[in-house]
Amino acid sequence: MSMIGTRVVRREDPELLTVGGYYVDDVAPADALHVTFVRSVMAHAVISGIDATEAQAMDGVVGVYTAADLALEAHPPSMPMLNQSMTRSILAADRVRYVGEPLAAVVSTTREIGVDAAELVVVDYEPLEVVVSMREAMEDKTLLFPDVGSNTCFAVPASAESDIFSDVEVRVDLTFNNPRLTAAPIEPRAAAARWDSAAAQDGTESLRLTQWSCTQFPHTTRDSLAADLGVEPTDIRVITPDVGGGFGAKGGRYPEDVLVAMLAKETGRAVRWTETRSENMVGMDHGRAVEFEASMGGTRDGRITAYHLHMIQDSGAYPRIGAVLPFLTRIMTSGVYDIANVDFSAVSVVTNTAPVGAYRGAGRPEATAALERMVDLFAAEIGMDPAEVRRKNFIAPEAFPYKTSTGADMDNGEYAKALDAAIEAADYPQLRVEQDRRRNDPSAPLLGLGWSTYVEITNPMGNGEFGSVEVRPDGSALVLTGSSAHGQGHHTAFAQLTHEVTGIPMDRIEIRHGDTDEVKRGGGTGGSRSLQTGGSAIWQASEQVVTMAKDAAAELLEANPADIVLNTDTGDFSVAGTPTITTGWAEVAQHIAANPLPAPTTQAGAEVELGPSAESDEDQHVGPIDGRLMAEVDFTPTAATFPFGAHLSVVEVDRDTGKVTPLNHVCCDDAGVIVNPMIVDGQVHGGVASGIAHALLEEFAYDTEGNPQTANFMDYGLASAAELPEFTRIPLETPTPRNPLGAKGIGESGTIGATPAVQNAVIDALAHLGVRHIDMPTTSQRVWRTIAEASASG
């Protein structure tokens, strides 16, 4: 029976739900010293002195280290397109630029001693003017890097050479926000490090680093540590155990990770660090933090003909990946719509706030949020139902593959089909009838209906992935992947793929990842690419193993390899026409072990069946490796994939308090071929929950002096199950030709589609009052004020 498309219960869940998993803080060396960081309490100041005398004298304190003690130098941003003059030292040396920036490290025998000692470190500050607002930062009156002379770290110029709105009949303009968020993973950041003696090839001894890291990208973490520490990647082993959520924020290099490795070498001891929740809220990369200036124009019968989006990106105090995310927003500017004239521009600026990085969609949710808000505003202006405006402007299915003027090379799309499925599932016409009834009943809460139709780019950089499959002499299989799991269901989905090709029972397939010594190379997990790249590598490696096994089975059964067939229901090989005489995986693996072939050479572009229209470039081992029945594949897709969907949010608004209650969220998300619908449901539900919280509750706020106002879970608006509605998920599969599985990404789709749908629903509930916009988050207070202002002016 085929396992593709089967709702298989996640294999990893029993351990996670009982034992609780094994995270960095669980597996770090028990005798490790503890690191506690002294963090800035000022948003912008010159450091005139750091006195650690009293802390150094405490029993149990091994040392207190500053940038000067470790001879740390400032380095430019790792991305060359960012302003290279905006340098940073991994411990602040002469100036701090945001509250929470690390400026000293205490190493102690216990965590408790470290916390007490950090409180005794005296830092002398000379306060400087603070700039928190992006627009104020653009004025360059207060500079974070005075020698640079500007706060601008990245810019995308407009491309239109003429007025794209000159011929429109209707034009709408809006300036609005996409508020700053924090990823808030269940597991905060953590790292542990130990240096051990290792024999070099020339017979001498050298030191080798083992670093335990809660990261989405183990191999990238290894390589960045090597660059920071001045050693070769082969001198570092990164181990990534269970990771308690990443969402993009655990994808980058953090100063604390490097310092843990440095301090382990400095002290000659293993060291460990696990941040507190409050540290996580102010120190981990934030997300979104955008302002938009948008214009949309078209005809009165609903055709959108022109759209311009200008994006102001808050990069935080130091330019990181968040500063270049407008590049991805630009690619997806026009979304699912056939718009003749599209223009995009952006500027990224530094402010006295925590750095901004990637968060759940990273640039693509921003594009959808802006576009879908403007489509609703355009629909309101011409008096047309927003669903019909969307339908009228969709890119037609027959137009694919489709290239947009902003650089999206889209594989396929059935946008109207997704919209119609959501309309039918929700009984949308009847909801509009109910909305009118409530508007005419002063005692009834208001009803709002909000649409979002989106397309996103997954694996946007076209990254490849490593995968290997080895069948052991006992007939079980070991699968290695360069992808890294932190909640997505890799262990289940990858075992399903291996079983589908080999017939080996899932409970005899072991999935391993996250150890750079064991897994030769890997891209990690991000950009919703794990299944389409990591899964494709495993699929092709499984096919190669089957081909090798058939050759061995032919020898055992004394037949021609071309006549050998594999029964994937039983996992047995037989000769075509004589199914009663069989041999199994164990016998085949044992035969290969007893009759090893010479070690194969790596061949680039070896022929592998990819399906009717899929193409790829890959490096592969062909033939048994060292007497093992094993195949390795590095799969690289020809291009990115473009999942899409339609979301309808149904919300209720209390007329007296402004409280918004989501009643239902209908979503039809296409992710190509679905391997495990249960996993996809979970991915979509989690994404939708995040998107709803973004629209209704979440905002990381600073006061005008750069002090965090929402730095713990008491103040920050996280959603729980009590705040979330029922989810109605409608499956849709539009296979992509860009990988052998036909799969697209799904991990970020729910977030991308949900946020604008909910925001549009809240505004729609108040549309009869003349309300055309409410900024996110649409909190009770903000909605109540909007109702009061509309009622007073009406």
Distance CA 298, CA 308 (A): 12
Using pLDDT thresholds of 50, 70 and 90, give the confidence band for residue 624. confident
DSSP type of residue 230: T
Cβ atoms within 10 Å of 143's Cβ, excluding its own: 16
Q: Given the structure tokens 């019968």, which residue do they identify?
A: 301
Residue 458 reports pLDDT greater than 50: yes
Q: 406-439, pLDDT tens digit by residue?
A: 999 999 999 999 999 999 999 999 999 999 999 9
Query: What is the predicted pLDDT for the residue at 68?
Result: 97
Distance CA 634, CA 682 (A): 28
Residue 201 reports pLDDT greater than 90: no
Using pLDDT thresholds of 50, 70 and 90, give the confidence band for residue 668. very high
* Dihedral sign of CA atoms 148, 149, 152, 156 in order: negative
632: three-class secondary structure by DSSP: strand
Q: What is the torsion angle, in degrees rounded to the nearest 10, for the CA atoms of residue 26, residue 28, residue 34 and residue 35?
A: -100
Q: What is the torsion angle, in degrees rounded to the nearest 10, for the CA atoms of residue 607, residue 611, residue 612 and residue 613?
A: -80
Q: What is the torsion angle, in degrees rounded to the nearest 10, for the CA atoms of residue 780, residue 781, residue 787 and residue 792?
A: 160
Strands 152-156 and 33-39: unpaired
Q: 698-745, pLDDT tens digit by residue?
A: 999 999 999 999 999 999 999 999 999 989 999 999 999 999 999 999
Chain-wide mean pLDDT for the chain? 94
Which range among 193-202, 340-349, 474-483 shows the weakest confidence by mean pLDDT?
193-202
Q: 287-336, pLDDT tens digit by residue?
A: 999 999 999 999 999 999 999 999 999 999 999 999 999 999 999 999 99
What whole-number percentage of the chain has pLDDT above 90? Answer: 92
Q: What is the torsion angle, in degrees rounded to the nearest 10, for the CA atoms of residue 211, residue 216, residue 219 and residue 222?
A: -30
**Cα angle: 202, vertex 207, 208; to 5 degrees:** 100
Copy the structure tokens of residue 15: 């351990």
Q: 474-508, pLDDT tens digit by residue?
A: 999 999 999 999 989 999 999 999 999 999 999 99
85: three-class secondary structure by DSSP: coil
Whole-prediction pTM: 0.95
Amino acid at 726: E
pLDDT mean over 59-69 = 98
**Cα angle: 475, vertex 479, 483; to 5 degrees:** 170
**Contacts of 780 by beta carbon, 8 Å cutoff, 6+ apart:** 654, 657, 658, 659, 660
Residues 260, 191: contact at Cβ < 8 Å? yes
Which range among 73-82, 378-387, 608-617, 690-699 shows the weakest confidence by mean pLDDT?
608-617
